[in-house]
A and B are shown apart, each in its own frame.
Chain A
Amino acid sequence: GAGVSQTPSNKVTEKGKYVELRCDPISGHTALYWYRQSLGQGPEFLIYFQGTGAADDSGLPNDRFFAVRPEGSVSTLKIQRTERGDSAVYLCASSLTRGREQYFGPGTRLTVL
């Protein structure tokens, strides 16, 4: 595709539920990043994939958060037992390779009630 796409664009869930957020990077981009952004804050790094492997997951806040990229393209961010504090916009970005500029998707706005 022309750019990074993310689905859903909005997700409302109840506390304690499980959610999956999907990211489809720019074709050919080997690096994929997940961020989350709260109102008035800059994007907060969560995890970075190079190909299929999670090269850096140091930003994941706790073990309720997990992400996969099984075929080196589409990635899914999974959040278990959601909490109200998880409410944020979850941004995905991809870059051609490490060290190149990152291009962002439109984000998924997650609201946990």
Chain B
Amino acid sequence: EDKVVQSPLSLVVHEGDTVTLNCSYEVTNFRSLLWYKQEKKAPTFLFMLTSSGIEKKSGRLSSILDKKELSSILNITATQTGDSAIYLCAVEAYNAGNNRKLIWGLGTSLAVNP
């Protein structure tokens, strides 16, 4: 069965710290891996990764995919209280009917204390 596992489940840091969030997956017919930030109700898109070894960067956030290890990391440098959220990892794969769907991890709950 396809699955996405994120670690740690929760993390508490101080402002200015750097954090690394992990996402590993076991899926057949991998298509892409996506990171989302969820603060209130809806996830906000961060990154989409399809190729191994190519880092995507947006401000203090960066992410990279390792297809050999079936994993991805999301880095946040110089954390701020506004980074407090649940970070969701999702893997897009083909299902049995050859349709694409997202398989979601449970998320990492990040709390950044001032």
A45 interface residue per 8 A CB criterion: yes
Residues of B within 8 A of A48 (CB): 99-101
* Contact (Cβ within 8 A) A43 B101: no
- Which B42-81 residues sit within 8 Å CB-CB of chain A? 42-45, 48
Instruction: Give complex CA distance A112, B13 in Å.
Output: 37
Min Cβ gap B51→A in Å is: 14
Instruction: Choose, from A62-70, A76-84, A101-109, the stretch at the interface.
Output: A101-109
B90 interface residue per 8 A CB criterion: yes
Instruction: Give complex CA distance A59, B97 in Å.
Output: 12
Instruction: Give complex CA distance A109, B40 in Å.
Output: 11
Mark interface residues in A69-113 (1 if CB within 8 Å of B CB, else 0).
Answer: 000000000000000000001010000001111111111010000
* Contact (Cβ within 8 A) A106 B42: yes
Min Cβ gap B41→A in Å is: 4
Residues of B within 8 A of A58 (CB): 95, 97, 99, 101
Which of A56, A89, A99 touches B41 (beta carbons < 8 Å)?
Answer: A89
Interface size class of B (residues with CB under 8 A): 20 to 34
Instruction: Give complex CA distance A59, B40 in Å.
Output: 24
A42, A102, A104 pick with most chain B CB within 10 angstroms: A42
Majority SS of interface residues in chain A?
Answer: loop
* Contact (Cβ within 8 A) B32 A99: yes
Closest residue to A45 on the B side, CB-wise?
B101
Mark interface residues in B78-114 (1 if CB within 8 Å of A CB, else 0).
Answer: 0000000000101010010101111011110000000
* Contact (Cβ within 8 A) B97 A104: no
A40 interface residue per 8 A CB criterion: yes
Closest residue to B102 on the A side, CB-wise?
A45
> Which residues of B pack against A, CB within 8 Å?
4, 31-32, 34, 36, 40-45, 48, 88, 90, 92, 95, 97, 99-102, 104-107
Beyond A58-B97, A109-B41, list 9 extra A-B contacts (CB 8 Å). A42-B90, A43-B104, A45-B101, A45-B102, A56-B101, A58-B99, A91-B43, A98-B100, A106-B40
> Which residues of A pack against B, CB within 8 Å?
33, 40-45, 48, 55-56, 58-59, 89, 91, 98-107, 109
